């Protein structure tokens, strides 16, 4: 009588048989180590029920333990944060998305720190150092950082190339006359010479373009079309009211270009610049007001030379050498100074403070455009 343990199945009580003997021998050859063939005493009493063999520990199958639940991934999306920082950083949308409302509001009212804050947040995001309000890292950074770096790099290169092309389009006109006409010109009466355009104004026209000035006026909320070709310019605005007065720039799709020219309460009079570091070309001014307002839209070249004192928002042209600029401000709101040279990524933020200020900062050599943002009296001294 034979007993076979094969594939963890115990069979016994089978009598000897030639065919069964062959199957048993084959099973012993192919069975894995955990399978055993056991032979009982051939002289056992016929009909007796053999004692069931003890099951080896090797034949015991233990059910696998239940897998521990995978904890939910916490944190804000890296892709969303990167795109908001790259495209809407001047509006502080990236910081609002991360839950940093306090610094988001400060970033918004300072126009992204005139660009510096925008650049810092973008670098923090690309390097993986950015965190949400709870201190959690951004989700998906390792999987998407390569694509983000490549896209950002391509945009930087395109911006540099476009700036270089625009700068190269301005070629000086030749004012030399052929030598054969010198004697003839001497014999003719001299014509009155046209007044020479100051070099800094010519630079502004070449760097930022020129167009005819436009004056608009109205009451309450309105939309004002920018003149054709007015991609970069300055806006001198006034408002007589008691509520919020703001002026922002929209593109052809009625989306913000990132330029918030005015945002104050009550009466206002000042000059602001747009288009220096915009996301897209502006086509319309959006006016929010509760009283009468006026707008004078003009080229950057129409700005006056740098003044030594003034009050409120203003835009100037500077043609001097690199120097020290000592500034003071007597006000309660944001006070900032920036210098725009027309070069790629020329953010040029000189001062960005709240309330009263007194200090000295480095000023780059001209030609350049100086923008002043203030709610009180200020002084500027170049040394």
Tens-digit pLDDT profile for residues 137-189: 888 888 888 888 998 888 888 878 877 776 666 444 444 444 444 444 444 44
Domain borders along the chain are 2-58, 78-160, 205-302, 303-383
C-alpha dihedral (353, 355, 361, 366), degrees to nearest 10: 90
Query: Cα separation of 27 and 49, whole Å?
Result: 23
Fold of the domain spanning 205-302: Jelly Rolls (2.60.120)
- Architecture of the domain spanning 303-383: Sandwich (2.60)
Tens-digit pLDDT profile for residues 269-324: 999 999 988 889 999 999 999 999 999 999 999 999 999 999 999 999 999 999 99
**What does pTM read for this prediction?**
0.51
Quick one: which of 330, 369, 377 has its CA closest to 350? 369
Q: Do domains 205-302 and 303-383 have the same CATH topology?
A: yes
């Amino acid at each position: 009588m034979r007993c076979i343990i094969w594939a963890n199945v115990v069979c016994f009580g089978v009598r000897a048989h030639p065919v069964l003997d062959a199957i048993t021998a084959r099973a012993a050859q192919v069975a894995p180590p955990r399978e055993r063939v056991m032979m009982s005493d051939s002289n056992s009493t016929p009909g007796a029920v053999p004692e069931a063999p003890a099951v080896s520990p090797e034949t015991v199958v233990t059910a696998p333990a239940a897998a521990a639940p995978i904890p939910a991934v916490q944190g804000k999306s890296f892709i969303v944060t990167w795109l908001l920082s790259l495209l809407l950083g001047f509006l502080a949308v990236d910081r609002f998305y991360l839950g940093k409302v306090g610094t988001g509001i400060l970033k918004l009212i300072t126009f992204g720190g005139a660009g510096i804050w925008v650049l810092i947040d973008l670098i923090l995001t690309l390097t993986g150092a950015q965190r949400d309000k709870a201190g959690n890292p951004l989700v998906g950074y390792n999987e998407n950082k390569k694509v983000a770096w490549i896209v950002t790099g391509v945009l930087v290169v395109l911006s540099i190339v476009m700036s270089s092309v625009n700068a190269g389009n301005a070629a000086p006109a030749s004012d030399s006359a052929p030598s054969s006409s010198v004697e003839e010109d001497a014999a003719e009466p001299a014509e009155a010479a046209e007044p020479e355009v100051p070099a800094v104004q010519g630079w502004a026209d070449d760097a930022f373009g020129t167009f005819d000035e436009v004056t608009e006026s109205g009451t309450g909320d309105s939309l004002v079309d920018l003149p054709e070709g007015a991609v970069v310019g300055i806006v001198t605005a006034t408002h007589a009211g008691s509520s919020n007065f703001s002026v922002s720039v929209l593109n052809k799709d009625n989306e913000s270009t990132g330029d918030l020219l005015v945002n104050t309460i009550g009466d206002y009079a000042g000059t602001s610049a747009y288009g220096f570091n915009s996301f897209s070309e502006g086509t319309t001014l959006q006016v929010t007001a509760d009283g009468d307002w006026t707008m004078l839209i003009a080229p950057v070249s129409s700005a006056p030379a740098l003044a030594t004192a003034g009050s409120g928002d203003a835009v100037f042209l500077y043609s001097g050498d690199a120097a020290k600029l000592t500034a003071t401000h007597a006000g309660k709101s944001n006070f900032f100074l920036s210098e725009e040279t027309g070069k790629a990524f020329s953010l040029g933020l000189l001062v960005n403070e709240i309330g009263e200020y007194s200090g000295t900062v480095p000023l780059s050599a001209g030609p350049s455009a100086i923008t002043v943002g203030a709610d009180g009296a200020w002084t500027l001294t170049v040394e």
